[in-house]
Amino acid sequence: MGAVAKVDMAPNEGLLRLARQDLLAMPGYEPVEPLDVLARRLGIPEERIVKLDGNENPYGPSPKVREALARFPYYHIYPDPEQGQVRDAIAGYVGADPEQIVVGNGSDELLDLTGRLFLSPGDSVVNAPPTFGIYEFVARTYGAEVAEAPRREDFALDVDAAERALASGAKLMFLSSPNNPTGNVVSRAELERLLAHGAAVVVDEAYAEFAAESFVPLTVEHDNLIVARTFSKWAGLAGLRAGYGVFPPAVAEAIRKIKMPYNMNVAAQAAVLAALEDRTALTENVSMIVSERGRMAKTLARLPWLRVYPSRANFLLCQVQGRQAREVQARLRERGVLVRHFDSPGVRGCLRISVGRPQDTDRLVEALTEIGAAVV
Ligand SMILES: Cc1ncc(COP(=O)(O)O)c(C=O)c1O
Protein backbone atom coordinates (compact mmCIF):
# COMPACT_ATOMS: atom_id res chain seq x y z
CA MET A 1 0.00 0.00 0.00
CA GLY A 2 1.11 3.59 0.17
CA ALA A 3 0.91 6.21 -2.58
CA VAL A 4 -1.67 7.90 -0.40
CA ALA A 5 0.14 11.18 0.31
CA LYS A 6 -1.85 14.27 -0.67
CA VAL A 7 -1.23 15.56 -4.17
CA ASP A 8 1.06 18.51 -3.75
CA MET A 9 1.02 20.38 -7.05
CA ALA A 10 4.43 21.90 -7.54
CA PRO A 11 4.22 25.31 -9.24
CA ASN A 12 5.02 24.75 -12.87
CA GLU A 13 7.09 27.85 -13.22
CA GLY A 14 10.82 28.39 -13.19
CA LEU A 15 12.69 25.30 -14.31
CA LEU A 16 9.78 23.03 -13.35
CA ARG A 17 7.79 24.36 -16.33
CA LEU A 18 10.07 22.10 -18.39
CA ALA A 19 9.46 19.03 -16.21
CA ARG A 20 6.95 16.27 -16.95
CA GLN A 21 3.71 17.77 -15.63
CA ASP A 22 2.14 14.33 -15.06
CA LEU A 23 4.98 13.46 -12.68
CA LEU A 24 4.64 16.74 -10.79
CA ALA A 25 0.91 16.05 -10.32
CA MET A 26 1.49 12.49 -9.08
CA PRO A 27 1.03 11.65 -5.37
CA GLY A 28 4.37 10.67 -3.83
CA TYR A 29 4.91 7.23 -2.30
CA GLU A 30 4.63 7.37 1.49
CA PRO A 31 7.48 5.32 2.96
CA VAL A 32 7.92 4.33 6.61
CA GLU A 33 10.31 6.41 8.73
CA PRO A 34 13.65 5.02 9.92
CA LEU A 35 14.34 4.36 13.62
CA ASP A 36 16.61 7.33 14.33
CA VAL A 37 14.11 9.80 12.83
CA LEU A 38 11.28 8.22 14.84
CA ALA A 39 13.25 8.19 18.07
CA ARG A 40 13.98 11.90 17.74
CA ARG A 41 10.39 12.73 16.82
CA LEU A 42 8.87 10.70 19.67
CA GLY A 43 11.54 11.50 22.26
CA ILE A 44 11.89 7.76 22.98
CA PRO A 45 15.28 5.96 22.82
CA GLU A 46 15.68 3.78 19.71
CA GLU A 47 15.89 0.59 21.77
CA ARG A 48 12.52 1.27 23.42
CA ILE A 49 10.70 1.57 20.09
CA VAL A 50 8.72 -1.46 18.96
CA LYS A 51 8.85 -1.01 15.21
CA LEU A 52 6.06 -3.05 13.65
CA ASP A 53 5.24 -0.77 10.72
CA GLY A 54 7.69 -1.82 7.98
CA ASN A 55 7.50 -5.63 7.83
CA GLU A 56 11.20 -5.73 8.66
CA ASN A 57 12.91 -8.73 10.23
CA PRO A 58 13.31 -8.22 14.02
CA TYR A 59 16.26 -10.65 14.15
CA GLY A 60 18.32 -8.64 11.67
CA PRO A 61 20.95 -10.10 9.35
CA SER A 62 23.07 -13.19 9.88
CA PRO A 63 26.22 -12.57 11.99
CA LYS A 64 28.07 -13.96 8.94
CA VAL A 65 26.87 -10.93 6.98
CA ARG A 66 28.38 -8.55 9.54
CA GLU A 67 31.69 -10.50 9.39
CA ALA A 68 31.71 -10.52 5.58
CA LEU A 69 31.13 -6.76 5.47
CA ALA A 70 33.89 -6.09 7.99
CA ARG A 71 36.32 -8.29 6.01
CA PHE A 72 35.47 -7.08 2.50
CA PRO A 73 38.64 -5.55 0.98
CA TYR A 74 37.35 -3.85 -2.19
CA TYR A 75 34.99 -1.03 -1.26
CA HIS A 76 37.03 1.28 -3.51
CA ILE A 77 36.43 -0.86 -6.62
CA TYR A 78 33.22 -0.78 -8.71
CA PRO A 79 30.97 -3.83 -8.47
CA ASP A 80 30.59 -6.43 -11.24
CA PRO A 81 27.91 -4.94 -13.54
CA GLU A 82 27.02 -8.46 -14.70
CA GLN A 83 26.54 -9.53 -11.05
CA GLY A 84 27.85 -12.99 -11.94
CA GLN A 85 28.67 -14.36 -8.50
CA VAL A 86 25.44 -13.22 -6.80
CA ARG A 87 23.34 -14.34 -9.73
CA ASP A 88 24.87 -17.83 -9.51
CA ALA A 89 24.26 -17.99 -5.76
CA ILE A 90 20.66 -16.75 -6.07
CA ALA A 91 19.96 -19.12 -8.96
CA GLY A 92 21.10 -21.99 -6.71
CA TYR A 93 18.85 -20.75 -3.90
CA VAL A 94 15.66 -20.49 -5.98
CA GLY A 95 16.39 -23.35 -8.40
CA ALA A 96 16.52 -21.21 -11.55
CA ASP A 97 19.09 -20.61 -14.28
CA PRO A 98 21.53 -17.71 -13.58
CA GLU A 99 20.55 -16.36 -17.03
CA GLN A 100 17.06 -15.71 -15.61
CA ILE A 101 18.27 -13.57 -12.71
CA VAL A 102 18.77 -9.81 -12.42
CA VAL A 103 19.67 -8.28 -9.06
CA GLY A 104 19.13 -4.75 -7.85
CA ASN A 105 18.75 -2.15 -5.15
CA GLY A 106 15.83 -3.92 -3.45
CA SER A 107 13.04 -5.66 -5.33
CA ASP A 108 11.49 -2.20 -5.75
CA GLU A 109 14.18 -1.55 -8.35
CA LEU A 110 13.28 -4.70 -10.27
CA LEU A 111 9.62 -3.62 -10.32
CA ASP A 112 10.74 -0.24 -11.64
CA LEU A 113 13.02 -1.78 -14.28
CA THR A 114 10.17 -4.02 -15.43
CA GLY A 115 8.06 -0.89 -15.88
CA ARG A 116 10.95 0.76 -17.75
CA LEU A 117 11.22 -2.16 -20.16
CA PHE A 118 7.53 -2.61 -20.91
CA LEU A 119 5.68 0.66 -20.38
CA SER A 120 5.19 3.67 -22.60
CA PRO A 121 2.78 6.56 -21.92
CA GLY A 122 -0.81 5.43 -22.44
CA ASP A 123 -0.15 1.72 -21.85
CA SER A 124 -2.35 -0.08 -19.37
CA VAL A 125 -1.25 -1.92 -16.20
CA VAL A 126 -3.57 -4.17 -14.18
CA ASN A 127 -3.51 -3.69 -10.42
CA ALA A 128 -5.52 -5.53 -7.76
CA PRO A 129 -6.01 -3.21 -4.77
CA PRO A 130 -5.76 -3.22 -1.82
CA THR A 131 -2.13 -4.03 -2.53
CA PHE A 132 1.43 -2.70 -2.44
CA GLY A 133 1.47 0.99 -3.47
CA ILE A 134 4.63 0.76 -5.57
CA TYR A 135 2.77 -0.97 -8.44
CA GLU A 136 0.59 2.05 -9.13
CA PHE A 137 3.56 4.34 -8.50
CA VAL A 138 5.68 2.49 -11.09
CA ALA A 139 2.87 2.51 -13.67
CA ARG A 140 2.32 6.25 -13.25
CA THR A 141 6.00 7.17 -13.41
CA TYR A 142 6.08 5.67 -16.92
CA GLY A 143 2.88 7.48 -17.91
CA ALA A 144 0.83 4.26 -17.97
CA GLU A 145 -2.85 3.99 -17.04
CA VAL A 146 -3.88 1.76 -14.15
CA ALA A 147 -6.76 -0.67 -14.79
CA GLU A 148 -8.05 -1.67 -11.37
CA ALA A 149 -9.40 -5.11 -10.58
CA PRO A 150 -10.30 -4.59 -6.90
CA ARG A 151 -10.08 -7.65 -4.65
CA ARG A 152 -13.19 -9.30 -3.26
CA GLU A 153 -14.32 -8.73 0.30
CA ASP A 154 -12.22 -11.67 1.54
CA PHE A 155 -9.22 -10.21 -0.39
CA ALA A 156 -9.26 -13.01 -2.98
CA LEU A 157 -8.38 -11.81 -6.47
CA ASP A 158 -11.30 -10.98 -8.71
CA VAL A 159 -9.84 -13.04 -11.54
CA ASP A 160 -12.76 -12.29 -13.88
CA ALA A 161 -12.18 -8.54 -13.49
CA ALA A 162 -8.41 -8.95 -13.97
CA GLU A 163 -9.02 -11.08 -17.06
CA ARG A 164 -11.32 -8.42 -18.52
CA ALA A 165 -8.57 -5.81 -18.07
CA LEU A 166 -5.99 -8.13 -19.62
CA ALA A 167 -8.30 -8.96 -22.52
CA SER A 168 -8.70 -5.26 -23.27
CA GLY A 169 -5.01 -4.89 -23.98
CA ALA A 170 -3.14 -4.34 -20.69
CA LYS A 171 0.57 -5.03 -21.13
CA LEU A 172 1.50 -5.83 -17.57
CA MET A 173 -0.06 -6.99 -14.33
CA PHE A 174 1.44 -6.64 -10.86
CA LEU A 175 0.35 -9.12 -8.24
CA SER A 176 1.79 -9.73 -4.81
CA SER A 177 1.64 -13.18 -3.20
CA PRO A 178 1.44 -13.15 -0.22
CA ASN A 179 -0.27 -9.82 -0.77
CA ASN A 180 0.72 -6.75 1.19
CA PRO A 181 -1.28 -5.67 3.25
CA THR A 182 -3.85 -8.49 3.22
CA GLY A 183 -1.51 -11.48 3.74
CA ASN A 184 -3.28 -13.94 1.41
CA VAL A 185 -1.78 -15.84 -1.53
CA VAL A 186 -2.83 -16.38 -5.13
CA SER A 187 -3.43 -19.95 -6.30
CA ARG A 188 -1.67 -21.61 -9.21
CA ALA A 189 -4.98 -22.01 -11.04
CA GLU A 190 -5.74 -18.29 -10.69
CA LEU A 191 -2.25 -17.34 -11.87
CA GLU A 192 -2.48 -19.64 -14.89
CA ARG A 193 -5.74 -18.00 -15.95
CA LEU A 194 -3.97 -14.61 -15.87
CA LEU A 195 -0.89 -15.89 -17.69
CA ALA A 196 -3.05 -17.30 -20.51
CA HIS A 197 -3.67 -13.75 -21.76
CA GLY A 198 -0.03 -13.31 -22.80
CA ALA A 199 0.63 -10.02 -20.95
CA ALA A 200 3.63 -9.86 -18.62
CA VAL A 201 2.53 -10.97 -15.14
CA VAL A 202 4.80 -9.94 -12.27
CA VAL A 203 4.30 -11.99 -9.12
CA ASP A 204 5.91 -10.13 -6.26
CA GLU A 205 7.09 -12.72 -3.74
CA ALA A 206 8.66 -10.39 -1.17
CA TYR A 207 7.09 -12.55 1.59
CA ALA A 208 7.38 -15.99 -0.07
CA GLU A 209 9.71 -17.45 2.57
CA PHE A 210 7.02 -16.95 5.25
CA ALA A 211 4.42 -18.73 3.11
CA ALA A 212 6.83 -21.53 2.11
CA GLU A 213 5.60 -21.50 -1.47
CA SER A 214 6.80 -19.91 -4.68
CA PHE A 215 5.95 -19.65 -8.36
CA VAL A 216 9.61 -19.58 -9.47
CA PRO A 217 9.38 -23.18 -10.82
CA LEU A 218 6.56 -22.01 -13.11
CA THR A 219 8.93 -19.58 -14.88
CA VAL A 220 10.26 -22.43 -17.05
CA GLU A 221 6.74 -23.18 -18.32
CA HIS A 222 5.54 -19.62 -18.92
CA ASP A 223 7.55 -17.11 -20.92
CA ASN A 224 5.45 -14.20 -19.62
CA LEU A 225 5.91 -14.86 -15.89
CA ILE A 226 8.25 -12.66 -13.85
CA VAL A 227 8.87 -13.27 -10.15
CA ALA A 228 10.29 -10.50 -7.93
CA ARG A 229 12.02 -11.53 -4.70
CA THR A 230 13.96 -9.81 -1.93
CA PHE A 231 16.46 -10.29 0.91
CA SER A 232 14.74 -7.51 2.89
CA LYS A 233 12.25 -9.68 4.76
CA TRP A 234 13.46 -13.24 5.39
CA ALA A 235 17.18 -12.39 5.44
CA GLY A 236 16.95 -9.10 7.37
CA LEU A 237 18.75 -6.96 4.76
CA ALA A 238 16.10 -4.26 4.20
CA GLY A 239 18.55 -1.43 4.91
CA LEU A 240 21.21 -2.78 2.55
CA ARG A 241 18.76 -2.99 -0.38
CA ALA A 242 19.10 -6.37 -2.07
CA GLY A 243 16.41 -7.73 -4.35
CA TYR A 244 16.22 -9.76 -7.54
CA GLY A 245 13.90 -10.83 -10.28
CA VAL A 246 13.50 -14.19 -12.01
CA PHE A 247 12.68 -13.43 -15.65
CA PRO A 248 12.37 -15.33 -18.90
CA PRO A 249 16.05 -15.42 -20.08
CA ALA A 250 15.58 -13.00 -23.01
CA VAL A 251 13.76 -10.51 -20.75
CA ALA A 252 16.48 -10.82 -18.09
CA GLU A 253 19.07 -9.96 -20.73
CA ALA A 254 17.05 -6.93 -21.84
CA ILE A 255 16.65 -5.75 -18.23
CA ARG A 256 20.40 -6.10 -17.62
CA LYS A 257 20.94 -3.93 -20.70
CA ILE A 258 18.68 -1.08 -19.52
CA LYS A 259 19.63 -1.04 -15.83
CA MET A 260 22.29 1.24 -14.37
CA PRO A 261 25.52 -0.77 -14.52
CA TYR A 262 26.34 -0.70 -10.79
CA ASN A 263 22.81 -1.01 -9.40
CA MET A 264 23.76 -3.36 -6.58
CA ASN A 265 26.63 -2.11 -4.48
CA VAL A 266 29.49 -4.32 -3.30
CA ALA A 267 28.27 -4.35 0.32
CA ALA A 268 24.85 -5.65 -0.70
CA GLN A 269 26.49 -8.25 -2.96
CA ALA A 270 28.80 -9.46 -0.17
CA ALA A 271 25.83 -9.55 2.23
CA VAL A 272 23.72 -11.64 -0.16
CA LEU A 273 26.52 -14.19 -0.58
CA ALA A 274 27.06 -14.46 3.18
CA ALA A 275 23.30 -14.68 3.87
CA LEU A 276 22.89 -17.52 1.40
CA GLU A 277 25.75 -19.36 3.08
CA ASP A 278 23.99 -19.00 6.41
CA ARG A 279 20.61 -20.04 5.08
CA THR A 280 19.93 -22.59 7.82
CA ALA A 281 20.19 -20.00 10.61
CA LEU A 282 18.12 -17.48 8.67
CA THR A 283 15.47 -20.10 7.99
CA GLU A 284 15.26 -20.66 11.74
CA ASN A 285 14.50 -16.94 12.16
CA VAL A 286 11.76 -17.31 9.54
CA SER A 287 10.32 -20.25 11.54
CA MET A 288 10.36 -18.18 14.72
CA ILE A 289 8.49 -15.38 12.94
CA VAL A 290 5.95 -17.83 11.51
CA SER A 291 5.33 -19.38 14.92
CA GLU A 292 5.08 -15.95 16.55
CA ARG A 293 2.59 -14.97 13.83
CA GLY A 294 0.32 -17.77 15.08
CA ARG A 295 0.66 -16.79 18.73
CA MET A 296 0.15 -13.11 17.92
CA ALA A 297 -2.98 -13.82 15.85
CA LYS A 298 -4.48 -15.83 18.72
CA THR A 299 -3.62 -13.20 21.31
CA LEU A 300 -4.94 -10.29 19.25
CA ALA A 301 -8.14 -12.17 18.44
CA ARG A 302 -8.96 -12.06 22.18
CA LEU A 303 -9.48 -8.30 21.88
CA PRO A 304 -13.18 -8.08 21.00
CA TRP A 305 -12.72 -4.89 18.96
CA LEU A 306 -10.07 -6.30 16.59
CA ARG A 307 -10.80 -8.55 13.63
CA VAL A 308 -7.62 -10.40 12.72
CA TYR A 309 -7.31 -11.68 9.15
CA PRO A 310 -5.37 -14.86 8.39
CA SER A 311 -1.88 -14.19 6.99
CA ARG A 312 0.85 -16.13 5.19
CA ALA A 313 3.33 -13.23 5.51
CA ASN A 314 5.28 -11.60 8.38
CA PHE A 315 2.44 -9.23 9.30
CA LEU A 316 -1.19 -9.37 10.34
CA LEU A 317 -3.95 -7.17 9.00
CA CYS A 318 -6.46 -6.24 11.69
CA GLN A 319 -9.70 -4.34 11.31
CA VAL A 320 -10.50 -2.03 14.20
CA GLN A 321 -14.18 -2.23 15.12
CA GLY A 322 -16.14 0.36 17.11
CA ARG A 323 -13.07 2.55 17.52
CA GLN A 324 -11.10 4.85 15.22
CA ALA A 325 -8.17 2.95 13.76
CA ARG A 326 -6.20 6.18 13.28
CA GLU A 327 -6.71 7.01 16.95
CA VAL A 328 -5.53 3.54 18.00
CA GLN A 329 -2.44 3.93 15.82
CA ALA A 330 -1.70 7.36 17.36
CA ARG A 331 -2.08 6.05 20.93
CA LEU A 332 0.21 3.10 20.13
CA ARG A 333 2.76 5.53 18.72
CA GLU A 334 2.70 7.60 21.94
CA ARG A 335 3.66 4.36 23.70
CA GLY A 336 6.52 3.74 21.24
CA VAL A 337 4.70 0.99 19.30
CA LEU A 338 4.56 1.65 15.57
CA VAL A 339 2.04 0.06 13.24
CA ARG A 340 0.71 1.02 9.80
CA HIS A 341 -2.78 2.42 9.32
CA PHE A 342 -4.85 1.94 6.15
CA ASP A 343 -8.02 3.71 5.19
CA SER A 344 -8.43 2.97 1.48
CA PRO A 345 -11.27 0.95 -0.09
CA GLY A 346 -11.20 -2.67 1.07
CA VAL A 347 -9.03 -1.92 4.11
CA ARG A 348 -10.89 0.93 5.81
CA GLY A 349 -10.11 1.23 9.49
CA CYS A 350 -7.36 -1.38 9.30
CA LEU A 351 -3.99 -1.68 10.97
CA ARG A 352 -1.14 -3.73 9.52
CA ILE A 353 1.11 -5.01 12.27
CA SER A 354 4.44 -6.67 11.49
CA VAL A 355 5.30 -9.80 13.45
CA GLY A 356 8.14 -9.05 15.85
CA ARG A 357 9.81 -11.02 18.62
CA PRO A 358 7.65 -12.48 21.43
CA GLN A 359 8.55 -9.52 23.67
CA ASP A 360 7.39 -7.13 20.92
CA THR A 361 4.01 -8.88 20.75
CA ASP A 362 3.76 -8.60 24.54
CA ARG A 363 4.42 -4.82 24.44
CA LEU A 364 1.90 -4.46 21.61
CA VAL A 365 -0.82 -6.40 23.43
CA GLU A 366 -0.21 -4.55 26.68
CA ALA A 367 -0.53 -1.21 24.85
CA LEU A 368 -3.62 -2.31 22.91
CA THR A 369 -5.30 -3.50 26.09
CA GLU A 370 -4.73 -0.11 27.74
CA ILE A 371 -5.87 1.74 24.64
CA GLY A 372 -8.94 -0.46 24.17
CA ALA A 373 -10.18 0.55 27.60
CA ALA A 374 -9.53 4.26 26.93
CA VAL A 375 -10.52 4.82 23.28
CA VAL A 376 -14.14 4.40 22.26
C1 LIG B 1 4.91 -6.66 -1.62
C2 LIG B 1 6.23 -5.97 -1.49
N3 LIG B 1 7.07 -5.97 -2.52
C4 LIG B 1 8.27 -5.38 -2.47
C5 LIG B 1 8.67 -4.73 -1.32
C6 LIG B 1 9.98 -4.00 -1.34
O7 LIG B 1 10.99 -4.84 -1.09
P8 LIG B 1 12.50 -4.34 -1.22
O9 LIG B 1 12.93 -3.97 0.15
O10 LIG B 1 13.21 -5.54 -1.74
O11 LIG B 1 12.54 -3.21 -2.19
C12 LIG B 1 7.85 -4.69 -0.21
C13 LIG B 1 8.27 -3.99 1.00
O14 LIG B 1 7.59 -3.79 1.94
C15 LIG B 1 6.59 -5.32 -0.30
O16 LIG B 1 5.72 -5.28 0.71
d(CA 276, CA 33): 28
Q: Is the CB of 204 under 6 A from ligand 1?
A: yes
Mean pLDDT value across residues 226-244: 98
Element at 200 (helix H, strand E):
strand 200-204
Q: Quick: pLDDT tens for 27-68.
A: 888 777 888 888 888 888 998 999 999 999 999 999 999 999
Q: Is the CB of 232 under 6 A from ligand 1?
A: yes
Q: Is the CB of 243 under 6 A from ligand 1?
A: yes
Mean pLDDT value across residues 282-305: 97
Mean pLDDT value across residues 115-132: 98
Of 39-48, 170-179, 243-252, 345-354, the poorest mean pLDDT is in 39-48
Q: Quick: pLDDT tens for 327-342.
A: 999 999 999 999 999 9
* Distance of CA 108 from the midpoint of ligand 1 (Å): 6
Q: Work out the percent of the chain whose per-residue pLDDT is above 90.
A: 90
Atom of ligand 1 nearest to the CA of 55: 14
Residue 1 pLDDT exceeds 90 = no
Residue 34 gets which letter from DSSP?
P
d(CA 19, CA 12): 8
Q: Is the CB of 179 under 6 A from ligand 1?
A: no
Third-level CATH fold of 14-59+281-374: Aspartate Aminotransferase, domain 1 (3.90.1150)
* Distance of CA 25 from the midpoint of ligand 1 (Å): 24
- Residue with the bigger pLDDT between 43 and 299: it is 299
What pLDDT score was predicted for residue 9?
A: 52
* Distance of CA 12 from the midpoint of ligand 1 (Å): 32
Phi, psi of 303 (to 5 degrees): -80, 115
* Distance of CA 368 from the midpoint of ligand 1 (Å): 27
Alpha helices in 95-174 (DSSP H): 107-118, 134-141, 159-167
Q: Is the CB of 176 under 6 A from ligand 1?
A: yes
CATH class of domain segment(s) 63-278: alpha beta
What pLDDT score was predicted for residue 56?
A: 97
What pLDDT score was predicted for residue 218?
A: 97
What pLDDT score was predicted for residue 373?
A: 73
What pLDDT score was predicted for residue 30?
A: 79
Residue 182 pLDDT exceeds 60 = yes
pLDDT band at 304 (very low <50, low <70, confident <90, very high): very high
Mutate to test the pocket of ligand 1, among 107, 110, 185 (most ligand atoms within 8 A of CB): 107
Q: What global pTM score does this model have?
A: 0.94
pLDDT band at 3 (very low <50, low <70, confident <90, very high): very low
The residue extents of the domains of the chain are 14-59+281-374, 63-278
Q: Is the CB of 182 under 6 A from ligand 1?
A: no
d(CA 101, CA 84): 10
What pLDDT score was predicted for residue 4?
A: 42
Contact 264, 103 (CB under 8 A): yes
* Distance of CA 372 from the midpoint of ligand 1 (Å): 31
Q: Work out the percent of the chain whose per-residue pLDDT is above 70.
A: 97
Mean pLDDT value across residues 166-193: 98
- Residue with the bigger pLDDT between 38 and 185: it is 185
* Distance of CA 141 from the midpoint of ligand 1 (Å): 18
Alpha helices in the chain (DSSP H): 21-24, 35-42, 63-71, 84-94, 107-118, 134-141, 159-167, 188-195, 208-211, 249-258, 266-277, 279-301, 325-334, 358-374
Atom of ligand 1 nearest to the CA of 232: 9
* Distance of CA 325 from the midpoint of ligand 1 (Å): 24
Q: Quick: pLDDT tens for 79-110.
A: 999 999 999 999 999 999 999 999 999 999 99
Q: Is the CB of 269 under 6 A from ligand 1?
A: no
* Distance of CA 2 from the midpoint of ligand 1 (Å): 12
The pLDDT mean for the chain works out to 95
Mutate to test the pocket of ligand 1, among 102, 111, 231, 232 (most ligand atoms within 8 A of CB): 232
Atom 7 of ligand 1, residue of closest alpha carbon: 107
Q: Give 314-334 as a 3 state SS string.
A: CEEEEEECCCCHHHHHHHHHH
Atom of ligand 1 nearest to the CA of 241: 9
Mutate to test the pocket of ligand 1, among 111, 204, 210 (most ligand atoms within 8 A of CB): 204
pLDDT band at 375 (very low <50, low <70, confident <90, very high): low
Mean pLDDT value across residues 256-271: 98
Mean pLDDT value across residues 294-307: 97
